[in-house]
């Protein structure tokens, strides 16, 4: 059985005393449901308290199998998922959640676990927060992911180079065939379709697609690679999402040959 996480984690909670959280407010009708998965009871309690105060309905699970059972019984709008779990690690939980439905996932990772973080992004997590973290930051991340999961007003269909995106239905196709995209992959593709021919740096994409002025830019790199794997005929020689050396990336609807 996995040993409990070091007690220092309880001190990462934005100055909140261990085992305490701000009083929760009743969730409004139709409030988004968030599943918090963490085997550290203190972390889970404080995170859940902050999310409830922000108006979310919160479910909790302390291991992987329980998380999958809870998600099946009451489908969450978003999952906050610790990678270090007993019984079934967070990466496997994320993989199984993503196989069932396109539910957004925000991972909790330990500082320095870059390989696991990148692997989590590779299998479909939409964002991550590195421990030690502030619960207020986590709430902002959750709000950002959920906001981008819901179409805004006036977002009409987009199409180019055999690709079609319907932001209202959150549906994307390539030559008429459905594309299985994560939340961020969908947003990234929609952004490129809205802005063809222009080169964007990774910082630009982090700001415009993720909604953050700072963050680990490898997140963008991983999502570009994943998106290429789904929209390019030959991901090893991308023609649509091209690398602009020294700048970033450009969507070229003409599909001219370019090294990526």
Cβ-count burial 201-215 (b if 16+ within 10 Å, e if not): ebebbbeebbbbeeb
Contact between 244 and 199 (Cβ < 8 Å): yes
Q: What is the phi/psi pair of residue 112, to 5°?
A: 95, -10
Q: How much is the average pLDDT of 224-232?
A: 95
User: Whats the size of the chain, residue-wise?
Assistant: 260
Instruction: Report the percent of the chain where pLDDT is more than 90.
Output: 49
Taking domain 158-251, whether its CATH number is 1.10.3720.10 is answered by: no
What pLDDT score was predicted for residue 258? Answer: 54
What pLDDT score was predicted for residue 63? Answer: 93
Q: How confident is the model at residue 2 (pLDDT cuts 50, 70, 90)?
A: very low
CATH number of 7-149: 3.40.50.2300
pLDDT in tens, 7-41: 333 334 544 443 444 444 455 657 899 999 999 99
pLDDT in tens, 115-131: 777 777 777 788 888 88
What pLDDT score was predicted for residue 8? Answer: 36
pTM exceeds 0.75, yes or no: no
Give CA–CA dist 167/113, Å, rounded. Answer: 34
Q: How confident is the model at residue 155 (pLDDT cuts 50, 70, 90)?
A: low
Q: Provide DSSP, 67-106.
A: HHHHHHHS--SEEEEES--SSS-HHHHHHHHHHH----EE
Lowest-confidence pick of 32-46, 64-78, 162-176, 201-215: 201-215
Domain locations in the chain?
7-149, 158-251
Q: How confident is the model at residue 52 (pLDDT cuts 50, 70, 90)?
A: very high
Q: What is the phi/psi pair of residue 222, to 5°?
A: -65, -45
Q: Give, as one character, the DSSP assignment of residue 30.
A: T
């Amino acid at each position: 059985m996995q040993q409990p996480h070091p007690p220092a984690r309880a001190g990462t909670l934005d100055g909140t005393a261990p085992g305490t959280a701000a009083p929760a407010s009743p969730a409004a009708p139709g409030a988004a449901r968030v599943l918090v998965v963490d085997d550290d009871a203190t972390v889970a309690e404080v995170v859940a308290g902050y999310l409830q105060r922000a108006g979310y309905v919160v479910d909790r699970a302390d291991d992987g199998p329980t998380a999958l059972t809870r998600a099946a019984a009451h489908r969450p709008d978003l999952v906050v998922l610790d990678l270090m779990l007993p019984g079934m690690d967070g990466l496997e939980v994320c993989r199984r959640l993503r196989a069932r439905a396109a539910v957004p996932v925000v991972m909790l990772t330990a500082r320095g676990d870059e390989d696991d973080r990148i692997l989590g992004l590779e299998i479909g997590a939409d964002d991550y927060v590195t421990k030690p973290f502030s619960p207020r930051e986590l709430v902002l991340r959750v709000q950002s992911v959920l906001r981008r999961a819901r179409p805004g007003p006036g977002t009409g269909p987009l199409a180019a180079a055999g690709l079609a995106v319907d932001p209202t239905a959150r549906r994307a196709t390539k030559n008429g065939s459905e594309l299985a995209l994560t939340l961020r992959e969908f947003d990234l593709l929609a952004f490129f379709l809205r802005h063809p021919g222009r080169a964007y740096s990774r910082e630009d994409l982090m700001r415009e697609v993720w909604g953050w002025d700072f963050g680990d830019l490898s997140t963008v790199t991983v999502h570009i690679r994943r998106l290429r794997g789904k929209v390019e005929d030959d991901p090893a020689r991308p023609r649509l999402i091209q690398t602009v050396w020294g700048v970033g990336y450009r969507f070229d609807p003409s599909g001219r040959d370019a090294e990526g």
